[in-house]
Amino acid sequence: MSVLITGGAGYIGAHIVRLLVDRGDRVVVVDDLSSGDASRLSGATLVRIDLAGDGARERLGSAIRDHGVTSVVHLAARKNAAESVTDPAGYYRDNVGGLAAVIGACADTGVRRLVFSSSAAVYGTPAVPRVDEAAPTQPINPYGESKLVGEWLVRDAATAHGIDAISLRYFNVAGAGWPDLGDPFPLNLITIAIDRVRRGLAPSVFGADFDTPDGTGVRDYVHVMDLAEAHLAALDALASRQQADSPAGAQVFNVGTGEGASVLEVLDRLRAASGIRFEVQVGPRRPGDPAAVVADPAMIAQQLGWRATRTLDDMVSSAWQAERPEPTASLA
């Protein structure tokens, strides 16, 4: 199989690239390297394209033809929910515009298999703590909106161009499959907490008055290796469907463990992994933060045969042990 991965030089993409290269697939990475790291990509071909830029559709089509690409995984996107509130146009341009270029290139070249990186952010603040794919999609920021619009565009592409697609709604991704593939940006709980602990600072707890067992926010943390394996399961399912001449569709799956963990539980795992008995500082809630968002992952297990196998301890300890750039001024 020859797979093109946009955003493949990023934290999640690099894990998917390495798994595909290790199993013998030909891999082409399309990335603008605005946040990706080319040194992660041994064994893959890198093509630098800004997917929201002029001529991106045509350049992408050339890369697909030049490398005999049969499947595309589209990860390239901006994903900072807080940043999206201050730059909605930039998020729609990059996240929806970039996807439009990918779909156009697939239509132009006859590529009929697409895996799209979506997000649990499409659920916004769910009315129930555990969500399946039929739960209402009510995103509360432009990042989540851009992912939901992306799912609609993928669905329309199935109808218009016969592109058979799977959208994966990522829950809270964490950990590292290899020490050199840690998440370099402290933008989420575990990476922010590690960055602060390494600088001798107390991690912050955003709210301890939620209606949860210990009062802190509950999320569904999924190991980046499990998430990467979900992409391979999706690619293989699409390949089988094309071989069976199945009609193009647009399936959507939650990618999570189905288990929730609170902020305090995660930080306690970090004390164990680091051996540092750090204190925490409890502050106010973040505006819009839901108390709990946990996946019901029954559909992906049933349809793709994928289940998460790695634990919260695996995530926190691998994140702690991963090679990281020098601690930065935390962005939190």
Q: Where are the beta strands (DSSP E) in 132-249?
A: 164-170, 172-174, 204-206, 218-219, 221-223
Q: Which DSSP letter does residue 96 get?
A: I
For β-strands 218-219 and 130-131, DSSP reports them as unpaired
CB distance 50 to 32 below 8 Å? yes
Residue 148 touching ligand WQD (CB under 6 A): no
C-alpha torsion 62→64→68→73, nearest 10: 170
Residue 98 touching ligand WQD (CB under 6 A): no
Binders of ligand WQD among 153-182, rule CB under 6 A? Answer: 170, 172
Judge whether 221 counts as a catalytic residue.
no
- Please identify, using beta-carbon distances, which residue of 61 and 142 lies nearer to ligand WQD: 142
Residue 188 touching ligand WQD (CB under 6 A): yes
Binders of ligand WQD among 104-133, rule CB under 6 A? Answer: 119-121
> Could you tell me how many residues of this chain bind ligand WQD (CB under 6 A)?
20
Please identify which residue in 189, 232, 237, 322 interacts with ligand WQD, judged by CB under 6 A: 189
Residue 282 touching ligand WQD (CB under 6 A): no
Residue 75 touching ligand WQD (CB under 6 A): no
Residue 37 touching ligand WQD (CB under 6 A): no
Q: Which DSSP letter does residue 203 get?
A: P
| Catalytic, out of 11, 91, 123, 143 | 143
Stretch that binds ligand WQD, among 44-52, 203-211, 235-243, 300-308 (CB under 6 A): 203-211
Q: Measured from the CB of residue 172, what is the shortest distance to ligand WQD in angstroms?
A: 5
Residue 142 touching ligand WQD (CB under 6 A): no
Please identify which residue in 1, 100, 192, 201 interacts with ligand WQD, judged by CB under 6 A: 192
313 is written with which tokens? 């301890």
Residue 263 touching ligand WQD (CB under 6 A): yes
Q: Measured from the CB of residue 285, what is the shortest distance to ligand WQD in angstroms?
A: 7
Short-list 211, 178, 251, 198, CA closest to 16 = 178
Please identify which residue in 78, 79, 155, 231 interacts with ligand WQD, judged by CB under 6 A: 79
Q: Measured from the CB of residue 96, what is the shortest distance to ligand WQD in angstroms?
A: 15
The rounded distance, in Å, linking the Cα atoms of 151 and 143 is 13
* Residue 13: CB atoms within 10 Å: 28
Compose the 205-224 pattern: x for residues touching ligand WQD by CB under 6 A, - for all others: xx----------x-x-----
Residue 59 touching ligand WQD (CB under 6 A): no
Residue 199 touching ligand WQD (CB under 6 A): no
The rounded distance, in Å, linking the Cα atoms of 33 and 31 is 5
Matching residue, tokens 């029954």: 298
- Please identify, using beta-carbon distances, which residue of 98 and 217 lies nearer to ligand WQD: 217
Short-list 248, 244, 236, 247, CA closest to 306 = 236
DSSP 240-288: HHHHTTPPP-EEEEEES-S--EEHHHHHHHHHHHH------EEEPPPTT
- Please identify, using beta-carbon distances, which residue of 96 and 263 lies nearer to ligand WQD: 263
Distances (CA, A) of 231 to 73, 123, 213: 8, 21, 33
Residue 91 touching ligand WQD (CB under 6 A): no
The rounded distance, in Å, linking the Cα atoms of 63 and 140 is 36
List, by residue number, the catalytic residues: 143
- List contacts with ligand WQD (CB under 6 A): 79, 81, 119-121, 170, 172, 188-189, 192, 203-206, 217, 219, 263, 286, 289, 332
